[in-house]
Each structure stands twice: as structure tokens, then as C-alpha cells.
Amino acid sequence: MALDIQLSDDISNRQLAEQLIKDLSDRGEVVWLNDKLESVTPMSEVAGRKFLYIRAAQNRLLRFMPYIEKVFPETAARKGIIESELLEINEFEKAVKKINPELKGRVLLKDDAHLPIAGSVKARGGIYEVMVHAESLAMKAGLLHPTDNYSLLDSDECRALFAKHTIQVGSTGNLGLSIGIMSAALGFKVIVHMSADAKEWKKDLLRKNGVTVREYESDYSFAVEEGRKLSAQDPDSYFIDDENSEELFMGYSTAALRLKVQLFKAGIAVDEMHPLFVYLPCGVGGAPGGITYGLKQIFGDYVHCFFAEPVGAPCFTLGMASERKSDISVYDIGLDGSTIADGLAVGRPSSLVCDVMDTLVSGSYTVSESKLIEYMKLMHDSEGVFLEPSACAGIHALMLQGNGQFEEYIAERGLEDKMAGASHIVWATGGGLVPESVKAEMLSV
């Protein structure tokens, strides 16, 4: 092959992998299917992780409800639950089916772009890990007990405790927003290490919330590494590691429990005759990985999860297709990681996520910059819903239905006669906090 890339020694189809990597290096749109996909029994131990871990995370979120409701009034209608709507998007579905008549089944939007507090999917994992750390500190100090009303975390005593501690994180933007806003609300000192891809308005919003922003001219991985080093020098600093955090992962996984309830209330079945397809934008992989893990625990083989990446930063697809996982970067194949989808501008995937997804994710695909813009406008024009370009990556899978490798996937699993009853969920991951002036600028491109 033209590229000097070392594939895994035990890779099953070297020729296909080489061609896919060549296409990735040319910024091509590709589809990768996971030939290691295994059957999953719901609520079983998966990749060494038990269902009770998801339940424990859900219980912690419930304990924090009184605090969240008190400090973030926008959550009052849900009594402090941080959750997004599952939306029927009929006009958008009609528009997509005109473009691709092969698409069968219904299309839904999981609107994490408008999650309370942080306006992105990162509100699930990022806010959750801040909760874990705050709860631990308060309990060790004797200021909190599991049976207490957690609104007392907003007391002067707790805020004085948290003010002695620092939370740090590396981010391209949205994770930094979720952690920065939540940590600052609790009273922590916060430092967010932002890569060159981060948008100015996100940095400005963090500073407005009292967060220290450190800017780097390098990429996401460099910002994470610098943040990790700085945090290690301070015994009272806690670093939230997007590349390796189990807490972030489990925070994201709780989305599956909430989605199950939403599907039930909407009368939408997920079973042998009604498969569920979920399309998740992917950066380092924490959010889509955690959500996929949770969905497989709830729905088993009836759910099919695909990760979506921009052609400029296809780190997960590259890592999985080469079977080198986090040991390979998009820079190794001549890409620079730049993309309009700033939330997905990551050069190397999470080793944790790659390992867990090895037998759980159905596949992944890449989408061009121009199509991200097209999909953003199509969603806004048809439904009046604004999504960041990165949040539109999942939409591309709808255009691929009935063709090529998606058709192959359906056929291999005997789903051809079941697709009329299928549900397709596009997971919208960011956009809720974008300023109106920035929205107008994006939509005018």
C-alpha cells in the first residue's frame, strides 16, 4: 500500500483494511463494519462491566436531583433530571426519504443538543463525573450522607470545601462547557485546557462562568496531556480524563435507561420485528461508547449502533479498521484532524472505548464537511431545530440505507423484511448553547 501503516498482525482481511485506510487518508467517505460483533444478553456482564454499574450511576443522578433543581432553574420542570426530548421529526423524515427512497422505518431525533445546563451530550458524562468527585469530597469531610437532601451541597460549608479544590479537563469545547459550568456552580476552581479547534464563543462562555481557560495552538490530545501534567502537580486537583475515564463512560451509559422509558411512552417497540438503529457522532469515543454500552445492556441484539465521524478526523474508524485502536492516529495517515465539526476534531481514539466497543459497536462511517452543512440546514429548514455541524454527523447514515455496506449489514443479519418496522435514532450531540449570531453565520454558509 502507498501509506506506510503497520496493521495489526492478526487482522482478518488485510486487503480490505488497507483500502479503507487509503480511502480515509484521501478524506473519503467510508463505511466500516465490525466483523467482531457479538451477541449480547441484556443486563449481563459485558466487557468486564456489569449492569449494576449503570444502575449505580443512575442512582447517583437521582440523588443529585434536588441540588440540580435548586441551582439550575431550567431543570425545574423535570425536578432536577438532566434529560432531552426524543422527537418525532416527520418533516425531516419526509425530506430525507425524498433524497433516499431506500430508507425504511421511522426517523427520530434524540435531542441531546438541547440538554439542560451544557447544551450537549457532554452534560451526561461531564456533569456526572463532577458529581462523583463532589460527592466523594463532601462525604469524606462529613458534610454529606447518602440519605441527605443533596441541595445542601449548595451550602456555605460545602462551597468553602470545594473552593479548596481544582477540577481540570482537556477539551475541544463541549466537554469543557459541561465540566466548567457544573464545577463552577459547585464552587470548585476550574481550568479547561482548550485545543486549537475550540470555538471562541465556548471559551467566552466558560470565562463568563468563572472558569480559567488555557488555550493551545495544538490539537485535542496535546491539550489533554498538558492538562493531565498540570493537574498532577497539585494534590488538590482532580483531572477528568476524557480518554480513559470510567466515570464519564458510565455517566453516558445512563442515557439508555432514559431512552427505554421514552420509547415505551411513545409506543415504539424494540424487539425482533422492530430493530433499533442508533447513529452517534464520535470524537474520542466516550459519549457514543458509553451510550452504546448502555443500549446494548438494555436492548441486546435488537439495537444496532454506528459511530459517525468527519472525514478530517476519523480516529475511531481508523483505530478499529486497522485493529491498532489507540495506537494509531489520523496524523499517521497524512490527515491534520481539522474539521468544521469541532466537537469531533480528535486525532486518536480512547483506548478504553476501543476495547469495550470491540464486540459491541456495529460499525462506523465518515461524512464530508459539505454534507454536514447540508444536513444542518436541512434539519433547521424542515424542523426548526438547530444543531452544530458535529451533531449532524449521525444523519449521514440515513442517506446510506439500502446501499452498499449498510445493505450488506442488513442482509447478513436477516433484517430485510423487518426494516419497515425499524426505528432510526439520530443522536444530536450539541448546539443548544450556540449564540444566535453564530447560528446565523453557520446557516448562511
Residue 3 lies in a domain: no
Tell me the three cell numbers of residue 387.
444543531
Q: What per-residue confidence (pLDDT) applies to 2?
A: 46
DSSP bridge pairs for 424: 107, 277
Q: What is the pLDDT of residue 8?
A: 67
| Residue 172 zone, left/alpha/beta (φ > 0; ψ -120 to 50; rest) | alpha
Mean pLDDT over 266-278 rounds to: 98
- Identify whether 228 is part of a domain: yes
Residue 7 has pLDDT above 80, yes or no: no
Co-location of 269 and 364 in the same domain: yes
Q: Under 8 Å CB-to-CB from 253, ≥6 apart: which residues?
A: 53, 54, 57, 290, 291, 293, 294, 297
Task: Looking at the structure, tell me whether residues 205 and 333 fall in a common domain.
Answer: no
Task: Give the span between the Cα atoms of 70 and 66, in whole angstroms.
Answer: 6
239 and 132 in a common domain: yes
Residue 184: the pLDDT is 97
In a domain, 2, yes or no: no
Same domain, 370 and 259: yes
Residue 1 falls inside a structural domain: no
Q: Residue 367 domain-assigned?
A: yes
Which range has the worst mean pLDDT, 12-16, 70-74, 253-257, 400-404? 12-16
Output the nine-digit C-alpha cell for 398: 440515513
Q: Are residues 177 and 225 in the same domain?
A: yes
Q: List, for residues 372-414, the tens digit of each pLDDT value.
A: 999 999 999 999 999 999 999 999 999 999 988 999 999 999 9
The pLDDT confidence band at residue 195, using thresholds 50, 70 and 90, is confident
The residues, any chain, with a CB within 8 Å of residue 218's CB and separated by 6 or more, are: 195, 196
Q: Are residues 98 and 127 in the same domain?
A: no
Q: Which of 245, 273, 299 represents a domain boundary (last residue)?
A: 245
CA distance 181 to 190: 9
Domain final residue, candidates 245, 272, 300: 245
- pLDDT tier, 11 (very low <50, low <70, confident <90, very high otherwise): low
Q: CB within 8 A of 84, min separation 6: which ones?
A: 110, 111, 112, 113, 114, 115
Give the domain-ending residue among 193, 211, 245.
Answer: 245
Question: What's the whole-number average pLDDT of the chain?
Answer: 94
Residue 315: the pLDDT is 97
Sheet harboring 166-171: ordered strands across?
A: 212-215, 189-194, 166-171, 237-240
Q: For the domain that residue 102 is a member of, what is the CATH number?
A: 3.40.50.1100
Instruction: Say if residue 14's pLDDT is above 80.
Output: no
Total number of domains in the chain: 2
Could you tell me the residue range of the domain that residue 178 belongs to? 122-245
Residue in the block written with cell 470548585: 188
- The verdict on 41 and 153 lying in the same domain is no
Whether the model clears a pTM of 0.75, i.e. scores above it, the answer is yes
Q: What percent of the chain has pLDDT over 90?
A: 89
Q: Is residue 39 part of a domain?
A: yes
Any domain includes 288: yes
Q: Which residue has the higher pLDDT, 356 or 4?
A: 356
- The 10s digit of each residue's pLDDT in 384-394 is 999 999 999 99
